[in-house]
């Protein structure tokens, strides 16, 4: 999604959000990520002037008044946290761990294949299909990608073929490189 994302070329506009829209986004985020409930006021303060950065390819990014990129979504789908936000609050997404052999492929934007999630160095949390997950790497502390599961963890284990997680945002992609938006 952000492989060829360039800050100068990809941004098409910015909108200041009304407080009612901010309130609905906050409630959707708490509903989608229940572990975020106690921290939502720190991430999206009620009195903060939130903005949405509109980008080409139907991508929207929530930005706070300081210009920090917080959440993004593609085509009205579920809001997903940016990796910078996930590194601050690493506990609010279920984690799937890939083995060492998959790291370089994930960091180049490849989807996560089922065998990379079922090999000896990998670990999986029990998740259903279409769940937003943090992709961890064997032997590393922080998440290296955020993705959406294409199969449930039981199906990934059973089938063990094809794409298990669609890679949406990874370290050093265009969104990671993007500077705070003023």
- The per-residue pLDDT for range 140-149, each reduced to its tens digit, is 999 999 999 9
- For the chain, where are the E strands, in sequence order? 11-16, 51-55, 59-63, 69-74, 80-81, 95-98, 112-113, 123-124, 132-137, 145-149, 163-170
Predicted local confidence at residue 181, as pLDDT: 84
Show the tokens assigned to 30. 């708490």
Distance CA 79, CA 75 (A): 10
Higher pLDDT, 10 or 105: 105
For range 27-36, the mean pLDDT: 93
Structural contact between residues 145 and 176, judged by C-beta atoms closer than 8 angstroms: no
Burial (0-12, 13-18, 19+ Cβ within 10 Å), 94:
middle
Tell me: the pLDDT tens digits for 75-122? Answer: 989 999 999 999 999 998 999 999 999 999 999 999 999 999 999 989
Structural contact between residues 16 and 22, judged by C-beta atoms closer than 8 angstroms: no
Residue 152 β-bridge partners: none
pLDDT at 166 over 80: yes
Distance CA 54, CA 61 (A): 7
Distance CA 42, CA 63 (A): 14
Distance CA 56, CA 138 (A): 34
For range 114-131, the mean pLDDT: 93
Provide the mean pLDDT of the chain: 92
Structural contact between residues 11 and 72, judged by C-beta atoms closer than 8 angstroms: no
Predicted local confidence at residue 142, as pLDDT: 94
- 4 pLDDT band, cuts 50/70/90, is confident
Query: Percentage of the chain surpassing pLDDT 90?
Result: 79
The Cα-based distances of 28 to 25, 37, 141 in angstroms read 5, 11, 28
Burial (0-12, 13-18, 19+ Cβ within 10 Å), 58:
exposed
Distance CA 91, CA 93 (A): 6
For range 147-156, the mean pLDDT: 96
pLDDT at 46 over 90: no
Distance CA 116, CA 161 (A): 10
């Amino acid at each position: 999604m952000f492989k060829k994302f360039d800050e100068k070329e990809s941004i098409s506009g910015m909108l200041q959000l009304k407080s009612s829209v901010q309130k609905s986004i906050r409630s959707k985020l708490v509903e989608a990520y229940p572990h975020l409930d106690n921290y939502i006021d720190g991430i999206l303060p009620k009195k903060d002037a939130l903005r949405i950065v509109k980008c080409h390819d139907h991508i929207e990014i929530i930005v706070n008044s300081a210009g920090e990129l917080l959440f993004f979504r593609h085509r009205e789908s579920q809001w997903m946290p940016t990796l910078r936000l996930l590194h601050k609050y690493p506990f609010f997404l279920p984690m799937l761990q890939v083995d060492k052999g998959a790291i370089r492929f994930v960091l180049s934007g490849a989807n996560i294949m089922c065998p990379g999630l079922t090999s000896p160095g990998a670990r999986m949390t029990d998740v259903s299909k279409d769940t937003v997950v943090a992709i961890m790497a064997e032997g590393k502390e922080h998440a290296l990608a955020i993705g959406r599961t294409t199969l449930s963890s039981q199906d990934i284990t059973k089938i063990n073929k094809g794409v298990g997680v669609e890679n949406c945002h990874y370290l050093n992609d265009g969104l990671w490189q993007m500077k705070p938006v003023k």
